[in-house]
Amino acid sequence: TQEKMIQIRERKASSGATIEGLKKRKDDLLERVETELNLNENNILEFSNLNQIENLPDTVTQEEELDEKKRKREKLGSVNLRADEETSKYEIEIKRMEHDRQDLATAIIKLKESINELNQRGREKLLEAFEKVNRKFNEVYTKLFSGGNAKLELVDADDPLEAGLEMLVSPPGKRLQSITLLSGGEQALTALALIFAVFLTNPSPICVLDEVDAPLDDANVARFCNLLDELTKITSTRFIIVTHHALTMSKMDRLYGVTMPEKGISQLVAVDLQKAEDMVA
């Protein structure tokens, strides 16, 4: 009996030493888990894949999975301790940008409304001016050509602001056609008719015409000068004509020219034709 008691005491001592070793191993493992994973004995199973599993996996497999998760965590890099501060700063900046975006969207809407309003008023003004110029164009063209008809048409677009302009004219004895089908002199005279039509809708104090009679023959120059004479009577505009055509010069009230009495010396010459006629008379 004493021998059995001795054996039991030895086994008890051995078992106690084993238990103490296991407790020490457990404490070391819990300390390692807490240090590396920030987990304690109470929630370690909650964050593991071993909860409610009857047969636990072998240690080697678990070690491999743990090492893999550690490598993935290391790839994430170091922890940014200023993340909260930077997040707050970016949130404020994002809110400011969203507010600016809303202001910009509101401004764009108002700008589009203003553009649409301006375009609408522009269309009305353009059509109103177009009708006036169109009427004057036909009147001036008829006077210059001693008959015929002329009109303007908006082409290539339904929107007047985007449309092109086509001149359709019918000289005396000819059918209605585009200006491109006329002769050079007829085209020049038609262009003058359009210029004067625009001018008559909004006359200015001074009108300068530079060599506009150059492509015209004598008959058309006479028509051009007669039209100028009528314009001086119905408007208060002073016309300044730059020309080399003798017939045009003869129809003017005053002539201003440059002569060179001596080589290298220019001299301005002015002649009042009305006074000259009186002197001749």
pLDDT averaged over every residue in the chain? 86
Give φ, ψ of 149 to 5 degrees: -140, 155
pLDDT tens digit sequence for 3-36: 999 999 999 999 999 999 999 998 888 888 888 7
**Mean predicted confidence (pLDDT) in 132-157:** 87
* CA angle 23–29–33, rounded 5-degree value: 145
* Res 182: pLDDT: 80
Tens digits of per-residue pLDDT, 181-240? 888 888 888 888 888 888 888 888 899 999 888 888 888 888 888 888 888 888 888 889
Beta carbons within 8 Å of 244's beta carbon, 6+ residues apart: 211, 214
pLDDT of 144: 84
Report which residue type is found at 222.
Answer: A
* Contact of 209 with 227, CB cutoff 8 Å: no
Residue range 104-124, pLDDT digits in tens = 999 999 999 999 999 999 989
**Which residues on adjacent β-strands are paired with residue 242?**
210
pLDDT of amino acid 12:
92
Name the residue type at position 97.
M
| Measured torsion, CA atoms of residues 228, 231, 237, 238, in degrees rounded to the nearest 10 | 20
Q: What is the pTM (predicted TM-score) of this model?
A: 0.56
